[in-house]
Amino acid sequence: MESGILTAVLLPAALGIIMLGLGLTLTVEDFKRVVQFPKAVFVGLFCQMLILPVVCFGIAKGFGLPPELAVGLMLLSASPGGATANLFSHLAHGDVALNITLTAVNTLLTLLTLPFIVNFSLLEFMGQGKVIPLQFGKVIQVFAIILVPVGIGMAIRAKNSAFAKKLERPVRILSAVVLVLVIAGAVIKEHARIVEFFRAVGLAALTFNVISMAIGYFLPLAIKLPRRQAIAIGMEIGVHNGTLAIAIASSPLLLNNSMMAIPPAIYSLIMFVTAGIFGFIVSRKKEDAPVPSTAS
């Protein structure tokens, strides 16, 4: 994708709109719910913040991904879930309230974890001389692009919930259109090598996606969390915000590398199929006995 008006202006603006849409779905109660479900939230964040980057790193190394594609996959592992994860969780009878809470907390933590993971990945896969620092200035940029629109969306929701609900659908549609356009832009930019990229990273992306959902679902079950919460966590860490990862990779304000956008783009296509299959399978299992709303 050429560095010009599209990447310098429209991409950051589009990312801001996407995060505004996320903010329109959040309330202060979503953050307070951490106290209500402390164990489930801790497990979800532990999987997202610690286990996934380690798993992703192992996959990138194991599949021998080219450096820029490896960084792109690691960038995806550092990105939070989003509205799509909430939708799949709802369809699979997961605990959507938990999804929303994890998304809210994850979005805040991303300001710290995403620059760290990306910087580590650049150093590890591309060498000291090719590191693109994500230090204080870049953290401020990520803050402005990610958290400020979320805050505006939450403020709109708090002041006029009816208006916020009216905005949710068009903003969601716009976000989907943006995802398609950004993926198309990355594909057009690298069209001569897209088949090569898919061969190089497709199986790695699929492996990462399936392992992510499996960890997110079976680990909570292993420590006796309700199945609805296990479904929610599985969806949250398996269905990433690919649009965010693609925009960060492509924006000249951040990484400015269209090749790094390829793994999130391919992952975004794969995850719709795998999440649908996963949701179909787990939704057919016997429901847990009802648990009080204050269960952790």
Domains of the chain, start order:
5-282 (1.20.1530.20)
Compute the distance between CA of residue 211 and CA of residue 62 in angstroms, rounded to an integer: 14
Q: Can you read off the two tokens belonging to residue 178?
A: 């943006």
* 8-state DSSP, 285: S
Q: What is the pLDDT of residues 207-246, one digit of tens each?
A: 999 999 999 999 999 999 999 899 999 999 998 877 778 8
> Distance between CA atoms of 288 and 124, rounded to whole angstroms?
44
Under the banding of pLDDT at 50, 70 and 90, the label for residue 54 is very high
Cα gap 186→199, rounded to integer Å: 16
Q: How many CA atoms lie within 13 A of 291 on its CB side?
A: 15
Q: What is the pLDDT of residue 107?
A: 75
Q: Name the pLDDT band for 20 (thresholds 50, 70, 90).
A: confident
Distances (CA, A) of 115 to 72, 89, 112: 13, 28, 6
Which is more confidently placed, 46 or 113?
46
Q: How confident is the model at residue 270 (pLDDT cuts 50, 70, 90)?
A: confident
